[in-house]
Amino acid sequence: MRHAGAPVAGFGAAIRHTAGTWLGIARARPRILIVDDDVALARSLRDMLAAAGDYDTRMVFCAADAMAAAADSPPAIVFLDIELPDMSGYDVARLLHHQALLRSTRLIALTETNEHPAREDARAAGFERYLVKPVTQVELQKVLRRKTGIAP
């Protein structure tokens, strides 16, 4: 039996955010997926993310694994290499955005070139931003703060 004044579940009980918790329950860490066939660069980005905040970060090294990982646990952000061995990053981006659960996922292109046509191709594929490798901590912070404000 419910006590008078006790909140009814699902009916707008007041929820306060304090020190990273919701009513004493730790909030979920933002999920970030790194997709790059260069293991050293993927690890470097993972380490920078660890230094930047408390993120649930996963690394994969090919397009097939990226698609499976994103479907299994939809990320807030995907850092996606443009030149993967099994499929182009542009094609992966298009496929991700065609999945209903992933339409709000932010896609960040990773590449080794700063050429203007490649930037246009990235935008057309659904990438929000285009980063030249290796990514700097300053660039990473800009990405993390934009729109979702998931930077600590």
Domain locations in the chain as residue ranges: 29-145
Q: Are 94 and 125 in contact (CB under 8 A)?
A: yes
Distance CA 64, CA 23 (A): 39
**Whether the predicted pLDDT of 145 surpasses 80:** yes
**With respect to CATH, is domain 29-145 assigned 3.40.50.2300?**
yes
Chain mean pLDDT for the chain: 83
Q: What phi and psi values does residue 27 have, to the nearest 5 degrees?
A: -75, 155
**Backbone phi and psi for residue 135, each to the nearest 5 degrees, phi listed first:** -75, 140
Half-sphere exposure of 20 (CA within 13 A, CB side): 10
Q: How much is the pTM?
A: 0.79
Of 62, 124, 126, 63, nearest to 92 by C-alpha is 63
Dihedral sign, Cα of residue 110, residue 87, residue 61, residue 85: negative
List the end-to-end C-alpha distance of the chain, in Å, as a whole number.
40
Residue 17: pLDDT band with limits 50, 70, 90 = very low
* Residue 26 confidence class, pLDDT cut points 50, 70, 90: low
Q: Look at residue 115 and tell me whether its pLDDT is greater than 80.
A: no
* In contact, 14 and 7? CB cutoff 8 Å: yes
Select the more confidently predicted residue: 80 or 11: 80
Dist CA 106 CA 142 (whole Å): 13
